[in-house]
Amino acid sequence: MLQAVEKPNVLLILVDDLKPVMGCHGDLLAKTPHMDKLSARGMRFDLAYCNQAVCAPSRFTLMLGSHSTSTGLYGLGSHLRKTWPNAVSMPQYFAKHGYRTESLGKVYHIGHGNKGDPESFSVPHFKEKVIEYVDPASKPEGGLTREEAMFQNQPPPPGGMNKLPRGAAFESPDVGDDSYADGRVAAETVERLKAAKQRKEPFFIVAGFARPHLPFSAPKKYWDLYDPEKFELAEHPDLPAGSPKVAQKRGGEIRNYFPVPDKNDRAQITDELARKLIHGYYASTSYVDAQIGKVTDALEQLGLADDTIVVLWGDHGFHLGDLGIWTKHTNYEQANRIPILISAPGVTQPNSSTRQLAESVDIFPTLVELAGLPAPAGPQPIDGVSLVPVLKDPAVRVRDHAFHAYPKSKMGRAIRTERFRLVEWKKPGTPGKSAEIELYDYREDPLETKNLVREKPAEVKRLRAILDRYPEAVGRDGKPVKTAKVDEGSEARQVAVHSKSPKIARRNLRIITESRSHKTGSLPQGVLLAQGGREHGYALHFLPSGRPAFDVRINGKVTRIAGEDPVKNMARLEAKLDAKTMTLSLNGKILVSAKSPGLIPVQPKDPLSVATDTLTNAGDYVVPNSFNGTVLAVRIEGGGKPFVISNLEIGTPEAAGDNKQIMTEEGEAVPRENTGRKGWKKSFIYPRHCFGESVARVPEFVVRSRFRRGIRAIR
């Protein structure tokens, strides 16, 4: 049992384009005995969702524990190490803690300019094909097809990839399993397990299977498992009534395969062809199920099953003609709902299931906790939460919604609760009132036939409030995004939010802020500085009475110390935390000192924010609790070089006098000298702060105090 194993093994099984078309999920047609058996060994998540419904970004979310909107890794050609060179992936993290990490098949997306991530694994990747044909009739023109060329990173011919011929959408030759890549990946994975048994060191093996990704190429015996007459066509083949144009999809990937009408052809997919495609998807799923069975059977035969955590994960779902859509690339249910099966001997109960909402980003922190390792702390944002409490008790809840996104001409960010999904389509950095909204009720309308945004305004308001707790999406591949002007007289506040925050886990802390009130004699109120959220973190803030306070949150519990008297005008607050004592000082004088709750045990996932608390509350107050004055400087010490933001002026609109309030999508104030004396006249690419793990200083051209000249060190 896992409790008796110092370092349990991990077997992570990835399946491309697999939605919950499985017997264990209640699909009466699906022939998936091996995945059903794996489900019976542990827990099935009935409401699991990917974070972006396309291959490469979805796999980045899994491996990094980060939403694509946090990293900017949105595309098939997004390069992990170009955007996040120092990111620590899940297998990298396990390797740092003594594991041998290996990968086989489709793990990271290779193709479309991507070449995987060698840094993640201890040994070279075992690469196999994704697009593969055995029957010569599937490539009647010979040579590479469009999809083969893209997945093999071939340069496009003159005129582009569409000049290459199309391959078949499906084939069913009477051949053995090893004729296709997934059979070879399964065989090699079994050999790796045998070798791991001999080495007697903990392993982290990732086996990635390509089917049921197009083309639906599978041996004939798996097609023969099904009676094609029993496949029903989509009950609702029309787009949702009232859905915005940006959310809709027609054509796409599937039109790169014949006999599907070419994407330049307006012809629709016939019922006969639709039924054949559905048959191919189910046959491919049964084929990959058999390959997974070879791996899980070997795990048992080698005596490794009781010492190995097994996770099965689909990278995203798949439309099979529902809403008139095929494949993925949407924010709708069929593209985003995925299977997650977890077997953790000694932790999960056999045949258990849960309706706890789960995300791909949750797998990283979950496996880390199951292995008894310290919680991951980045440097990339860790957006996932551990599902271990749910694995122990299916009724426990660790989140009340799932988040996912899809970028098109606008960014579509979605909140999925057990009953509803809200999708907000807008360009990052633009006002919320510019958004196009979708709302679907899965209790009343499971087929998403109608956008209910007008019928349920209260639900729209509630779910948008949840979405507003998330930072705006970062730019593609981590690049800056265009910003938007906030109307004069609006309630918008100047805030600063930093995606790369100082390291505070298990460290003595010294936190200093300089601030001033807007009006002589007025009482300050709100957050000066906060890092962390509802689990772990700290906040330096003013109570409504004007009294300064220092809150430390550990495992959800807040410990507070506060001064007895209100503060007026300029204030230099200093807070200290060590294992025994927490102290709060004002202008060099100690106000209060008390017993400490201890050091903050893990790096919080909510980022550092100045003059507000942007996500979940680090202190005992209601977010955002924005500061009603101006923050001038910040310094955080936690060992090593200090984290410094000086030459700063952040607060409410009144602080900037007659300057128009212009902010980046991260909420950072754009000073007047950066926008031109005549105001905001054209698009401006605003630089993101580049905060390191030690000293971080805002460049002078980014923020400049009108009340102080030059940069004055804060000590």
Overall CATH class of domain 2-393: alpha beta
Give the pLDDT score at 639.
Answer: 72
Question: Would you list the domain boundaries of the chain?
Answer: 2-393, 405-482, 485-675
Q: Is the pLDDT of residue 687 over 80?
A: no
Is the distance from CB of 632 to CB of 516 less than 8 angstroms? yes
pLDDT of residue 139: 95
Q: Which of 122-131, 223-232, 443-452, 636-645 has the lowest mean pLDDT?
A: 636-645
Task: Summarize pLDDT for 441-485 with one digit per residue, the tens.
Answer: 999 999 999 999 999 999 999 999 999 988 889 888 766 554 333
C-beta atoms surrounding 532 within 10 Å: 30
The sheet carrying 337-343 orders its strands as 100-105, 203-209, 9-15, 308-314, 337-343, 43-49, 352-359
Q: What is the pLDDT of residue 380?
A: 92
Q: Where on the phi/psi map is residue 369: left (φ > 0), alpha (ψ -120 to 50), or beta?
A: alpha
Residue 487 has a pLDDT of: 26
Tell me which architecture the domain covering 485-675 has in CATH.
Sandwich (2.60)
For the chain, give the mean pLDDT: 86
Task: Give residue-wise pLDDT tens across range 365-375.
Answer: 999 999 999 99
pLDDT at 12: 99
Amino acid at 341: L
| Joined tokens for residue 426 | 């807008």
pLDDT band (50, 70, 90) for residue 649 = low
Mean predicted confidence (pLDDT) in 22-36? 98
Class of residue 178 by CB neighbours under 10 A (exposed 0-12, middle 13-18, buried 19+) = middle
Long-range contacts for 636-639 (Cβ within 8 Å, ≥24 apart)?
Answer: 636/502, 636/504, 636/509, 636/510, 636/511, 636/512, 636/529, 636/608, 637/509, 637/510, 637/511, 638/502, 638/503, 638/504, 638/507, 638/508, 638/509, 638/510, 639/507, 639/508
CA angle at 379 for the pair 619 and 366, rounded to the nearest 5°: 75
Instruction: Return the pLDDT at 500.
Output: 60
Amino acid at 643: F
Q: Judging by DSSP bridges, how do beta strands 548-554 and 110-111 pair with one another?
A: unpaired
Q: Which residues are part of the catalytic machinery?
A: 55, 109
pLDDT above 90 as % of the chain: 68
120 DSSP assignment: G
List b or e across 260-298, with b for residues whose CB sees 16 or more CB atoms inside 10 angstroms: bbeeeeeeebeeebbbbbbbbbbbbbbbbbbbbbbbbeb
Question: Hey, what amino acid is at 280?
Answer: G
**So what's the pLDDT on residue 626?**
86
What's the pLDDT at 264?
A: 62
CA atoms within 13 A on the CB side of 673: 7
Q: How confident is the model at residue 267 (pLDDT cuts 50, 70, 90)?
A: confident
pLDDT at res. 429? 80
Looking at CATH, the fold of the domain delimited by 405-482 is given as: Arylsulfatase, C-terminal domain (3.30.1120)
Between 672 and 379, name the one with better pLDDT. 379
Q: What is the mean pLDDT of residues 673-680?
A: 32
pLDDT of residue 648: 54
In this prediction, what percent of the chain has a pLDDT beyond 70? 85
pLDDT digits (tens, 9 = 90+) for 512-560: 998 887 665 678 999 999 999 888 999 999 998 899 999 999 988 999 9
What DSSP designation does 126 have? B
Give residue-wise pLDDT tens across range 332-366.
999 999 999 999 999 999 999 999 999 999 999 99
Q: Are residues 207 and 105 in contact, defined by beta-carbon separation less than 8 angstroms?
A: yes
Least confident of 130-134, 147-151, 390-394, 700-704: 700-704
Residue 662's pLDDT band (boundaries 50, 70, 90)?
very low
Residues 604-631 have pLDDT tens digits of 888 888 888 877 889 998 888 888 888 8
pLDDT score of 708 more than 70: no
For 459, counting Cβ atoms within 10 Å of its Cβ (0-12 exposed, 13-18 middle, 19+ buried), the class is: middle
Beta-strand relationship, 509-516 and 496-498: unpaired
Q: Where is pLDDT greater, at 536 or 39?
A: 39
Cα 195 from Cα 197, distance rounded (Å)? 5
Q: What is the pLDDT of residue 646?
A: 57
Whether the pLDDT of residue 711 is over 70: the answer is no
* Element holding 341 (H helix, E strand): strand 337-343
Give the model's pLDDT for residue 651: 52
Q: What's the distance, Cα to Cα, between the start and end of the chain in Å? A: 53
Write down the pLDDT at residue 519. Answer: 61
Give the model's confidence band at 207: pLDDT under 50 very low, under 70 low, under 90 confident, else very high: very high
Residue with more model confidence, 217 or 251: 217
Q: How many CB atoms lie within 10 A of CB 407?
A: 19
Record the pTM: 0.71
476: left (phi over 0), alpha (psi -120 to 50) or beta: beta
**Best CA proximity match to 384, nearest among 14, 19, 71, 81:** 71
**Cβ neighbourhood burial of 690 (10 Å; 0-12, 13-18, 19+):** exposed
- For 95-126, the pLDDT digits (tens) are 999 999 999 999 999 988 888 899 999 999 99
